[in-house]
Amino acid sequence: MKKNENKTSILAPLTIGTLRLEHPVFLAPMAGYTHFPFRTICREFHCGMTFTEMVMVEGITRLCPQTMHYLETRPGENPIGAHIYGQNPDSIAKAAEIIEKTGRFDVVDLNCGCPVRKIRRKGAGVSLMKDPEHLYKIVKGMTERVSMPVTVKTRLGLTPECINIAEIAHAVEEAGASALFLHARTADAVHGGPANWEKLAAVKAQLSIPVIGNGGVDCAQDAVEMVLQTGVDGVMLARAAVGNPWIFEEIYCLLHGQPFVAPTREERRAVIAEHFERELALMHIEDAFRKRRKHSTEHAACGKFRAQLVRYVRGTPDLRLLIRTLNTVQSPEDVMHMVDTAFAWQAEVEKNA
Nearest CA-CA partner of 207 in 231, 240, 223, 242: 231
Which residues in the chain belong to E strands, given as ranges? 14-16, 19-21, 25-27, 50-56, 80-85, 107-112, 150-155, 157-159, 162-163, 179-183, 211-214, 234-237
Taking the alpha carbons of 30, 180, 241, 148 in that order, is the dihedral positive or negative?
negative
- The active-site residue out of 114, 219, 253, 302 is 114
Q: How far apart are CA 241 and CA 192, in angstroms?
A: 16
Residue 114 among the catalytic residues:
yes
Cα diameter, the chain: 64
Taking the alpha carbons of 279, 285, 290, 295 in that order, is the dihedral positive or negative?
positive
Q: How far apart are CA 307 and CA 155, in angstroms?
A: 25
DSSP line for 226-265: HHHHH--SEEEESGGGTT-THHHHHHHHHHTT----PPPH
As annotated, the active-site residues are 114
